[in-house]
Structure 1
């Protein structure tokens, strides 16, 4: 039988928050029998947050804010990562027309245009063309007319 060895290091707020996320999932999936564990972890998170230094609290707030922000304009590397592609594969997909070119006059890709391209590739947009996709198609035509090599 394996012996459980507890770490001497104190449990961090991040570890408690991760445990809380797992237990929340368990409560949703298996029912209220696990609510006491959920309540205990909620209490632990609150206690740990009260012990945080102002600097740690500010850094945590900054991380949480950054996690919520999804910029509309993305760099080539960000756009490739967003699509789970390498930058080289991203470049190939853009050349092949699978993904849109960058916004004219920039080196940034529009998240919504990428989402529409994925919808088209996956067949979601195959049954109907909505106004936003028609707008993107018009933009692409005008972009290619202005930039024949792009």
Structure 2
């Protein structure tokens, strides 16, 4: 007998801050395969570094990448996340 467990999230996808690959792909409106290609090409951000083998993407980073891909720039103070700050100091 094979037992399969599924992670039950406390929040619906539209209210979460971090997505797995399939969720991130769905969020930006592409297939998981195309999303992986966009990550490899540097169009979409790399996964967060703090989840070990599990690959997770930050919603705000996906939003910024989408904005940049269509030429939308922020006005006023730059949008930064804790991940952006970590990446700036840790490479």
The TM-score, its normalising length taken from structure 1, stands at: 0.43
Q: Are the counterparts in 2 of residues 116 and 133 from structure 1 also a CA contact under 8 Å?
A: no
The gaps in structure 1 that reach 5 residues or longer are 1-64, 146-150
- Aligned-residue CA RMSD in angstroms? 3.1
The offset of 1:137, in angstroms, is: 8.1
2:17–2:58 contact (8 Å) kept in structure 1: yes
The structure with the larger Rg is 1
**Normalised TM-score (structure 2):** 0.67
> Per-residue deviation at 1:81?
0.6
Higher helix residue share: 1
Q: Relative contact order (C-alpha < 8 Å, sep 6+): which is higher?
A: 2
> Take 1:137 and 1:119, find their aligned partners in 2: how far apart are those partners?
19
2:67 aligned partner: 119
Partner of 1:56: none
Over residues 71-109 of structure 1, what are the superposed CA-to-partner deviations in whole Å (9 max), with x where a residue is unaligned? 101001100010111111111111111111111132110
Instruction: State the shift of 1:139 in Å.
Output: 2.1
